[in-house]
């Protein structure tokens, strides 16, 4: 029999049976699947005149033949920011064996032939958070300004006061950002209240919006539509932090609520630190 090239095992990859995937949730942006051909199978194929070789962009290396991941979806909620699966055995299916026997005019391929082991290293397009918290370290100057106006800050559960004096706001499960740029929206539960006399302004259910002009939106006294109350100057640290400053709309609304003109756009309220969990 003449030597025949099996292009990159691409056909075999589609015809092989591997471990079932988890429920599709997160789109994939890249990564690779590597097939290390079983030694015994490789010897049988070589003896029968077959040659296994990659077709670009697949590449052969010491670990096997690597196939770039071009897309797909997978649930990686409990596997960190990347998904790595190793030790998966790839075996030929009946349909695969029939197709290959027909293609090459042989009867050599049988169901269950062990092709090798598979390693999948997938890079998600998005990061989906399962929880975590964002803390806000209130600027002493802002706190003094509020107290001088007779305004007392408070918390709306499940927000908490941390031991270091900062406020903690739980991150809503399911919040999603881009894995590379971190662009997206991070939702939160709880909030803060600002009270003066009989007037209370409740700012709750924060959304940290990461885009070209990062900001924080909040529900104001249960409003149906969220309002941009803070601009965020994000610093690329680990974990990421952001200097939170009052927007003009928020300053005007608070001044009207508390009968003052002291609160101005750009007032630094504090530094927020985002610590999500995957």
The pLDDT tens digits of the residues spanning 115-155 come to 999 998 888 888 889 999 999 999 999 999 999 999 999 99
Taking alpha carbons only, the member of 193, 189, 194 closest to residue 207 is 189
Q: How confident is the model at residue 76 (pLDDT cuts 50, 70, 90)?
A: low
Which range has the worst mean pLDDT, 23-27, 57-61, 252-256? 23-27
**Do 19 and 62 touch, CB atoms closer than 8 A?**
no
**Do 201 and 193 touch, CB atoms closer than 8 A?**
yes
pTM for this model (two decimals): 0.70
Taking alpha carbons only, the member of 152, 243, 222 closest to residue 193 is 152
Cα 27 to chain center, whole Å? 10
pLDDT for residue 73 = 78
- Per-residue pLDDT of 189-205, as tens digits, reads 999 999 999 999 999 99
Cα(137)–Cα(272) distance, rounded to whole angstroms?
6
CA distances to 51, 52, 58, 82, 114 from 44, in Å? 11, 12, 23, 36, 11
pLDDT for residue 13 = 37
Question: Per 3-state DSSP, what percentage of the chain is helix, strand, and coil (rounded to 5)?
Answer: 15, 50, 35
pLDDT for residue 6 = 35
- Per-residue pLDDT of 242-271, as tens digits, reads 999 999 999 999 999 999 999 999 999 999
Domain boundaries, the chain: 4-124, 128-277
Q: Does residue 84 surpass a pLDDT of 90?
A: no
pLDDT for residue 180 = 85
């Amino acid at each position: 029999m003449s030597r025949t090239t099996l292009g990159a095992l691409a056909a075999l990859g589609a015809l092989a049976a591997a471990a079932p995937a988890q429920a599709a949730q997160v789109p994939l942006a890249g990564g690779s699947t590597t097939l290390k051909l079983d030694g015994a199978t490789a010897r049988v194929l070589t003896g029968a005149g077959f040659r296994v070789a990659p077709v670009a962009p697949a590449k052969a290396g010491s670990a096997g033949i690597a196939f770039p991941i071009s897309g797909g979806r997978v649930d990686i909620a409990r596997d960190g920011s990347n998904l790595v699966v190793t030790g998966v055995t790839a075996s030929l299916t009946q349909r695969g064996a029939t197709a290959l026997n027909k293609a090459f005019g042989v009867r050599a391929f049988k169901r269950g032939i062990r092709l090798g082991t598979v390693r999948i290293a997938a890079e998600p397009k998005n990061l989906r958070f399962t929880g975590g918290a964002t803390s806000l370290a209130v600027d002493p100057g802002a706190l003094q300004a509020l107290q001088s106006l007779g305004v007392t800050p408070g918390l709306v559960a499940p927000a908490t006061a941390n031991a270091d004096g900062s406020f903690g706001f739980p991150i809503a499960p399911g919040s999603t950002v881009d894995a590379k740029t971190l662009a997206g929206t991070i939702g939160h539960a709880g909030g803060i209240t600002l009270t003066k006399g009989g007037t209370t302004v409740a700012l709750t259910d924060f959304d940290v919006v990461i885009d070209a002009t990062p900001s924080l939106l909040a529900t104001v006294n249960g409003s149906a539509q969220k309002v941009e109350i803070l601009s965020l100057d994000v610093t690329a640290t680990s974990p990421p932090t952001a200097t939170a400053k009052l927007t003009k709309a928020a300053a005007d609304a608070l001044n009207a609520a508390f009968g003052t003109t002291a609160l101005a756009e750009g007032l630094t309220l504090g530094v927020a630190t985002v610590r999500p969990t995957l």
